Each structure stands twice: as C-alpha cells, then as structure tokens.
Amino acid sequence: MEKITIIDFGSQYTQLIARRIRELNVYSEIIPFSNFSKIDSNTKGVILSGGPCSVLDQSSPKINTLNFRGKIPVLGLCYGAQLIAFQDGGRILKSKIREYGRATLNFINNDILMDGVNLESQVWMSHGDTISVISKKSKILASTKDVKIAAFCLENEDTFGLQFHPEVYHTKDGVKILNNFLTKICNCSQNWNMDSFIKNSVSSLQSKIGTEKVLLGLSGGVDSSVAALLLSKAIGENLFCFFINNGLLRKNEFHDVLKSYELIGLNIKGIDSEDVFLDALKGVSDPELKRKIIGNKFVEIFEKEASQIQGVNWLGQGTVYPDVIESVSATGGPSAKIKSHHNVGGLPEKMKLKIIEPLREIFKDEVREVGKNLGLDEKILNRHPFPGPGLAIRIIGDVNKKNLSILREVDHIFIQSLKDSGLYRKVWQAGAMFLPIKTVGVMGDERTYENVVSLRAVTSTDGMTADWAHLPVEFLSNVSNRIINKVKGVNRVVYDISSKPPATIEWE
C-alpha cells in the first residue's frame, strides 16, 4: 500500500500533518526521527515535521537527509525545512523575536508546489530560527514581509521546504499545497479512506493477535465501542468484553450501557466494583495519582477476569490520538507531555496482559466515521466523549460518594437540558465539574454555605483544539436555576469560557 512517511522531530502538529494527508485520501505513517533508518518501497514521499529545537544546537534531533534526497520527493516543514537548508549548505540564524502567528505571502514563484496558491494568501508561522541563506542550487518559492525564504526548493531534485505550517487551519491554502505535493510531485493515487483503514486494521489485528483472546473494557462511549467492533470483526468470539462499574459513572450509566450493548451483539459481562475503586481513591486529591490508581484497579480486575478465561493474553483499549499526544510524545519524539490518560499513562509498568489499541493513530471524528461504516448504533456513535477516569477527574479534590452523588445530578440535568433544547449535537463535549470550594448563598430566608459547580461545554472536531461553546444565555440561566433548585448541596453555578489551548477540555 502506497504511503507518505512523516518523520517526527517532536512537533505538536505532527499528527495533524498525518490527518491532513489522510483527509486527502493518502495513507500516512509517522516514524520518530530516532527510529528512522531507511525509506521502504511503499513510500511515495517524505515529510519532515517541525519541532521545538534548533538545528544549530548539537543535541537537536537530526537525520541525514542526503541519504534519500533526490531519490524520493521530500517536503520539510518549519524545523524540517531548516534541516534541509542547513544540510544543503544554507545558513540558519536565531530570530531576534520568535515569529509566531499569521503572515501574508507577498511573493510566490509559480512552481508546481505553489500552483494555485494566491498572492497575499495567509500562512501560519511558528519558529524561533530563520533560514537566512540557501545554497546556489536552491530557489525561493515564496516570501512574506518579514521572512524572505518562506518557501524554497532544490533544483534538479523534488525537495522542498516551507518555513510556515501548511497543516494548520490558519494557512488558508495549506491543503492546496499539500495536495500539490501528494498528487503532482509524489504521484499518489489518493485511494485510501476509512474503508481502507478498516480493512488494514482487521488484517493487522488478525496478524498480531492470531488465535489468542482479548479482553476489552467497554464504557458505552464511541471509542471503546468502535474498538470492540473492529476487534470483533478481526477475531470474532475470541473477544471478551467487560463493563466495570467503578463508581465514577454518570447517573444510571451502568445499567443503561449494559442494555445498549445487547443491540450490538457483543459478548459482554457487567462487573460492579464501585467499592474497590472508591476505597482506593479515599483521601486522594492529586489528579495524576487518581488516574494511576484507576488505571491500576482496572488492570487488576481485568487480570482477575482473564485468569478465568483460558488463552487471554491481550487487553484491548479504545485509546485515540488526542489521549496519546497529551500523555506522551505520540511517537517517542521530544514533544512535551501535558497529562496522563488512564488509557495511556495510567497503566502499571508491569502487567500480565499485552496492550492492543486499534484506534491509537486516529482522531475522534475519524473514529465516528469508522463506527458509522461498521454500523454502530447512532445513540452510541454520537455520544459525547467521556473521560476514562470518569467523574473522578471532574471532582477537584477528594472523591467520595456524597460529592459523586451531587455531581451526577448536576451532570444529568445539564446533559438532558442540552438534548431537550436541541443543543447536544452542536456541542463536542459537555459535563459538570465539582469545585473544592463553598460559597455563601440565600435560599428562602436562610443563609446557605454550599458547593460550587462549573458547567463545561466545548466545540471541536478532533479534541486537539477546542473553543468554549457559546450556549444561549437564556439556556444557561434555565439550567442554573434547575440545578440550584433541584440539587441539594449546590448554591452556585458557573460556566467555563476557556478554550483549548491554553486550557484542556477536562479540568484534571
């Protein structure tokens, strides 16, 4: 199968590059610079990602591009472009001011890579170094007011460099540039889609798992459900599904989820372990420790269940890319860790089961497309994301039955109100947070001193970035009144208007 190989130098945008390539119906594969050895025969082109380092630093991540340049098309982005220029004899300078944000092209050379790109087109810059000189065998393809060498190519070989980021939304003709590289330079056939992903995934799962058995924890969400359908398609009756009540679920969720999976026909067992998890979380307020504890308890229960089923060697998980990139570098590169997810960073270092993650390299909207192609029920397919650690990371501070009970009622009112108002499908994710503070209030003629909850709703396409949902003021007013009137223990409701970045969707 033809593909584009993306060599990762630690950019937070690396998987976004892969996403854009897949959106153009070409399969892409990310390889960390540290694991790169050679280009295989299926690769039609190479993209060098950006990164947080400077090519001028001796310790910065590097590969020798001369080993494959001229033999296969190469496109360097930001750090990748600087690496090409540097190794070709050009000159890189430290920028006096980090160039970050929107810029406008004021010169475009009508080259095949820039074909169809408009003069004065907006591009997105994010770099601390600048390419000041390129070799005599290179030519400039585009410039901005402040960046003379915004794009360049090497003559007599299909090697190109862009100082800006074509993969981000703010580069208006970025998709056009990437499409030129794929179709006019790499000659890709553009025949990869979600059906291809399903076919390749099933084949890969069959090859990796063989006749062994897999345990998979189902949550009722789209990620674990689609992972289950893929695994079921690959290994059939060798998939054993469990749904664990960890005491951190939403109102009526344990029974409702079990019932919903009856329609899918998966082999599922419900396990009520509420006391096990809540006892382990008693007195724990640190969010990272919460995630670790929950991850450990999940594995303990799965390993206990696995011991009762002969031939189980695998633990399946519905990990998706945003989970991965926020927990660790997705490919082992030098990108920064944001937080642990129980699907990724919350597992113990030593465990008896091997991990299988069919959705690890795709985004949430792609997961939904796979689920739709596999015939997943609409109610599950369009359900909002819900964190693996559940309400534990929506309670800021100690987790106990009293606070959980309050938060469940608040969350239920909020989510049901969104559905009743026709707003649920317009929001990417919504939920409530229990804050570790109390405030003075007045109810009737009495003074109250009770809890504060925060409502959180965001819009997004992939979870990597998100904007706070601009819900109608009248809706928020009605929800706030319902919560305060119906949920004993709450006398104040606030609404979170933070976007991601700088905030994350969940508070912990």
Q: Which residue type does 336 have?
A: A
Residues 27 and 1: beta-carbon distance below 8 Å:
yes
Q: In DSSP terms, which residues pair with 287 in a beta bridge?
A: none
**Residue whose entry in the numeric block shows the structure tokens 């390539």:** 21
Phi first, then psi: give them for residue 408, nearest 5 degrees.
-60, -45
* Cβ-Cβ contacts under 8 Å for 18 (sequence gap 6 or more): 6, 28, 29, 30, 361
The sheet with strand 239-245 has its strands ordered as 268-272, 239-245, 213-217, 312-316, 354-356
* Mutual angle of helices 473-486 and 401-420, in 10-degree steps: 140
The kind and range of the H/E element at 433 are strand 429-443
Question: Is-catalytic flag, 165?
Answer: yes
From the list 165, 341, 342, 412, the catalytic residue is 165
Question: Is-catalytic flag, 78?
Answer: yes
Does 73 sit behind a cis peptide bond, omega within 30 degrees of 0 on the bond before it? Answer: no
Q: How many residues does the chain have?
A: 508
- Residue (of 63, 62, 4, 386) closest to 188 by Cα position: 4
User: How far is it, in rounded angstroms, from Cα 128 to Cα 388?
Assistant: 37
User: How far is it, in rounded angstroms, from Cα 399 to Cα 283?
Assistant: 7
User: How far is it, in rounded angstroms, from Cα 428 to Cα 464?
Assistant: 12
User: How far is it, in rounded angstroms, from Cα 132 to Cα 49?
Assistant: 20
Per DSSP, the three-state class of 132 is strand
SS3 content of the chain, % helix, strand, coil (to 5): 35, 25, 40
Max CA-CA distance within the chain? 84
Residues 138 and 90: beta-carbon distance below 8 Å:
yes
* Cα distances (Å, whole numbers) of residue 439 to 402, 448, 490: 18, 8, 9
User: How far is it, in rounded angstroms, from Cα 411 to Cα 391?
Assistant: 10
User: How far is it, in rounded angstroms, from Cα 77 to Cα 12?
Assistant: 13
From the list 53, 127, 167, 506, the catalytic residue is 167
Local structure of residue 124 (DSSP, 8 states) = E
Per DSSP, the three-state class of 354 is strand
Residues 149 and 134: beta-carbon distance below 8 Å:
yes
Question: Is-catalytic flag, 170?
Answer: no
Active-site residue set? 78, 165, 167
